[in-house]
Amino acid sequence: MKDSVPAKSTGHIKTRDGLTIGLMMFPAVLMLLVCSVYPFLWVFRYICYDYNGMTAYFTGARNFVRLFEDTAFWASVGHTFEYAALKLVFILPLALVMAVLMQQKIMGSGIFRVIYFMPTIISSAIAALVFSFIFAAYNGVLNAVLRATGIIKQNINWLGDPSFAMWAVLILAIWGGFGNYMIYFMSGLSSVPGDVYESAMIDGSSGLHTFIHITLPMLSPMLKTILMLAITTAFKDYESIMVLTTGGPNNRTMVMFLYIYRLLFGSNQNNPSIGYACVLSIVAAVIVGIVTGIYLLLARKLDDVM
Amino acid sequence: MAKEKTVRGSSGAVVSTSGRVARGLLFVFMLIVGLLTLYPVLYVLFGSFKENAELLVGGINLFPKVWSVDNFVEAWQQADFSTYTMNSVVIAVGVMLLSLFVTSMAGYVLDRRKFPGRALIYGTFMAFMFINVGSVSLRPLFELAISLHMNTSLFSVIFISAAGGQATYIFLIMSYMKSVPKELDEAATIDGCTFFQTFYKIILPLLRPILATVALLSFRGGWNEYIMPLVFTMTEPSKRPLTVGVNMLKNSGDGAAAWNIMFAGAVIAIVPILLIYIVASRYFIDGLTGGAVKG
């Protein structure tokens, strides 16, 4: 860690400067300790308790037994993987294609860039609310358009039918996120020196050929970072799902962090089950950690091949 | 020189007819994606001027049959949206000011000074960008706020929201500091400036562009915050921001009857941040790549 931080010292620290430094760092460190470190340590405090927000009973290993018997949780883990995989499969190619198109300096690309990035500015809770209107089964505009164009004859219950709800969630996720990754890709593409393209053109390389054999490999260091960001973000998404489907229907779109949220703050049906939620949070963090680790390993392997 | 020009000319296949057709097709594709991206926003924007009866029937019309501002009047006067809006403004401005205050100092000190614990602090910031225990961290913070009697105070919401964003902003400022010559600090010290004076009088004015980015990003962060204020205002409806207030209507049972109010509420929540974005889109877009992805 030390090595990655460039030494910027302008010499030894005078006592008065030391005090100033301490005071200037204090608010940031306080916020870090209170809002990141303390909650992290707190999670471990209740893992062996049944805690409902008022009283805590020691239950030994019962939370862990419950973990293995909790099929609803493991189903939510499955949904998280399904959601993350599908989101990445759609959003990354789309974002990359749009980024490459942006580079072609086609008419209006400045305005398009602003439009594509716009959804990321809007609160995901509000966006999800708007999409719940769009997806509404009887008076929603999506069904109305599909009916008017003759694609469907009967209304699809997007948010109430288990076979469509995940797609509704994904459409929202793609709408809300592709502009974000497009900007990442654009910043990666702009670091590919222009003369590389010129020499490729001199060699008579076609557009697609240039893209596959020159752009992608040159992009790969950046691609790795972007992919990692995309993976970890996709696993953590739950705010918009919470608003759009509340995990339903029939838990079909219940992702693991939403499942944990409901245990923590309760829903109408159940009391908070905080100790158990702490155990699940650790499990969820470990799952994300393992996925990231596997990804990094694969990325390194790929590096050796390429 | 002349040779280079001919190369450029021949490589610019874009001028040829087939190239022009291809570019035209690409433009159409971009236009379609752009319209699909814009559609939900236009839909809710124009829908908010429709009468509830029209909203409940649905249909594919984008524009209202009858334009009416009743939804906004009703939302503002009867559905507490004036309170929600005020709370959103307080949270967003609060998060912005607190973020600017905290991260400008921390970013400067972390970039310019070596002090005991520096690596630990930097490392902890980095670590918590990756460690994520999700919503569970809201529970201890909520209980801490209760024990401090601050569980219904908007300051708690502001503090936690600013804390959530600060690592990104500190890294943004640190990477911007690399472009500020260290000689400036040294000259100021020689001229008799204390460490803090150097920061306040010399560095801070130079940081203005990156601070603008931090201000906009943190304002957006506070304005769009949902789950955390939802938890903190569970028992205190008068402290709810727009995001929470609008969504409460959705879950309140008579959801269908309140479509018009929710449309108006969603528009009130979207339009201010959208206007800021239209004016300052460059800062939002640059802020994303300035510090977040450093290959």
Give the range of the structural domain holding residue A139, as residue numbers without chain letter.
64-305
Do B45 and B188 have their domain in common?
A: no
Q: Does one domain contain both B54 and B104?
A: no
Between A and B, how many CB-CB pairs are < 8 A?
302
| Closest Cβ opposite residue A1 in set B123, B242, B274 | B123
Host domain of residue B286: 79-291
Answer whether residue A141 is part of any domain: yes
Domain count, chain A: 1
B196 and B264: one domain? Answer: yes
> What confidence score (pLDDT) does residue B8 get?
41
Please tell me which of A195-199, A200-204, B65-69, B120-124 the model is most confident about, judged by mean pLDDT. Answer: B120-124
In a shared domain, residues B158 and B91? yes
Last residue of a domain, one of B70, B92, B120: B70
Q: Does one domain contain both B254 and B126?
A: yes
- pLDDT above 60: residue B1: no
Rounded Cα distance, B145 and A34, in Å: 11
User: Is residue A122 in a domain?
Assistant: yes
pLDDT tens digits for A183-194? 989 888 887 777
Q: Rounded to whole angstroms, how far apart are CA atoms B15 and B170?
A: 46
Tally the residues of chain A.
306
Q: How do residues B67-110 score in pLDDT, each as one tens digit?
A: 988 889 888 887 889 999 999 999 999 999 999 999 999 999 99
Whether the pLDDT of residue B9 is over 70: the answer is no
Which residue in this structure is represented by tokens 């390389």?
Answer: A205
Q: Is residue A135 part of a domain?
A: yes
Mean pLDDT calculated for residue range B228-253: 87
Same domain for B6 and B133, yes or no, is no
Give the tens place of pLDDT for each residue, A237-290. 999 999 999 887 989 999 999 999 998 887 655 678 889 999 999 999 999 999
Same domain, residue pair B91 and B210: yes
Identify whether residues B30 and B98 lie together within a single domain: no
Domain CATH number, residue B125: 1.10.3720.10
* Number of compact structural domains in chain B: 2
Residue A287 lies in a domain: yes
Q: How far apart are CA B145 and CA B111, in angstroms?
A: 33
d(CA B142, CA A30): 17
Do residues B134 and B252 both lie within one domain?
A: yes
On whether the CB atoms of residues B135 and B227 are closer than 8 A, the answer is yes
Tell me if B141 and A17 make a contact (CB, 8 A cut-off).
Answer: no
> Does a structural domain hold residue A47?
no
We report the CATH number of the domain holding residue A219 as 1.10.3720.10
Q: Which of A125, A134, A261 minimises the CB distance to B135?
A: A261
The answer to whether A236 contacts B134, with C-beta atoms less than 8 Å apart, is yes
- Answer yes or no: are the C-beta atoms of A226 and A88 closer than 8 Å: no
- Look at residues B30, B49, B70 and tell me which one is the last residue of a structural domain: B70
Q: Is A12 a member of any domain?
A: no
Phi, then psi, of A13 in degrees rounded to 5: -95, 125
Are both B153 and B272 inside the same structural domain?
Answer: yes
Q: Are the beta carbons of A234 and A84 closer than 8 angstroms?
A: yes
- pLDDT, one tens digit per residue, over B59-68 is 888 898 889 8
Q: For A112-171, write each residue's pLDDT tens digit.
A: 999 999 999 999 999 999 999 999 988 889 999 999 898 888 889 999 999 999 999 999
Q: Nearest by CB to A25, which of B106, B231, B284? A: B106
Picking from A132, A253, A255, A124, the residue whose alpha carbon sits closest to that of residue B251 is A132
pLDDT tens digits along B109-123: 999 888 888 999 999
Q: Return the residue of A nearest to B32 by Cα.
A: A112
Contact B246 A126 (CB under 8 A): yes
pTM of the model: 0.88
pLDDT of residue A270: 62
Contact B38 A121 (CB under 8 A): no
Span of A194-198, A294-298, B91-95, B120-124 with lowest mean pLDDT = A194-198
Q: Is residue A84 part of a domain?
A: yes
Q: Which of B53, B70, B87 is the last residue of a domain?
A: B70
pLDDT of residue A259: 93
- Helix, strand, coil shares of chain B as percentages rounded to 5? 80, 0, 20
Is a pLDDT exceeding 50 seen at residue A10? no
Contact B113 A13 (CB under 8 A): yes
A112 and B34 in contact (C-beta within 8 Å)?
yes
* B88 and B9 co-located in one domain: no
From the candidates A115, A180, A282, which should be mutated to test the interface with B, based on the most B CB atoms within 10 A?
A115
Residue A45 lies in a domain: no
Is residue B140 domain-shared with residue B49, that is, in the same domain? no
